[in-house]
Structure 1
């Protein structure tokens, strides 16, 4: 497995540098938009934005290495819920992170309308 240095990101040019938008590697949810950064190299700039503002919002799966939000993180084994599912009934939408009411039998998220994933389902 190649070690990931940051979560998925996009760059937006801004006055005084670039802003970085960091996304959950599993759900795709936008997690953080940084202040503008400028450094000598693009990699230095990315790492500066990641270490100062982005990293604190993510967990890293110890199995696959992806950076993920709490909603798709199994803290019992330090892995993403793709690598280590822990819910027989979903409690959070993996797409948008919305909380799902306990005992809900919906097949789709009431917020983003994406399919809900239960343990053992794809």
Structure 2
């Protein structure tokens, strides 16, 4: 039995907002409830509603910029920067900039749409 899992074809999460989500490991791709690792590209002008997830989320910016509203604080991360957001924290993700933002997102435990608790727009 091999002691590794090689991911050659991540699960592409269907979206309606132009965002690319390629989950390499997690519930949708490898049925792993402990962690999700996804490559993402948020197009210019993209945003999500506020949410209060039941998981920690780490974000590493590869290129571009991404805005975060965490509780009442506005932060902008640029390429090479990263952030960890604690579970049960109210947050909004937004790309108000003119260029796409490419990043890696890691959630522990794994991202679960039933545990993200998005607010109605």
TM-score range with shorter-chain normalisation?
Answer: under 0.3
Query: Relative CO higher for 1 or 2, CA cutoff 8 Å, sep ≥ 6?
Result: 2
Q: Give the structure-1-normalised TM-score.
A: 0.22
- The structure with the greater share of residues assigned to strand is 2
Q: Give the structure-2-normalised TM-score.
A: 0.22
